Amino acid sequence: MCRSIHVLRLPDRPATPEEIRAAALQYVRKVSGYRKPSQANAAAFEQAVLSVEQATAELLQSLKTRQVG
């Protein structure tokens, strides 16, 4: 696993939309091998980022958290 990947599920606060977007972009870059896609691949790249972003937000919202106390 890449050492630069950050945990989004923090105990003190939920992940921000910006953090979720950054994580989705990082994932798509890693999987595709492109830091910045060509014009021909830009639409597919952006659609993948949006899909991963949505799936990540849904996952984080559905996780059950442990009650402290």
Cα–Cα distances (Å) from 60 to 22, 38, 40, 54, 55, in that order, read 15, 31, 32, 10, 9
pLDDT at 9: 72
Flag whether pLDDT at 41 surpasses 90.
Answer: yes
Task: Judge contact between 13 and 33, C-beta under 8 A.
Answer: no
pLDDT at 22: 92
Indicate the domain borders of the chain.
17-60
pLDDT band at residue 1 using 50, 70 and 90 as cut-offs: very low
Cα–Cα distances (Å) from 25 to 20, 48, 49, 63, in that order, read 9, 9, 6, 22
Q: Is the dihedral of CA 21, 24, 29, 30 positive or negative?
A: positive
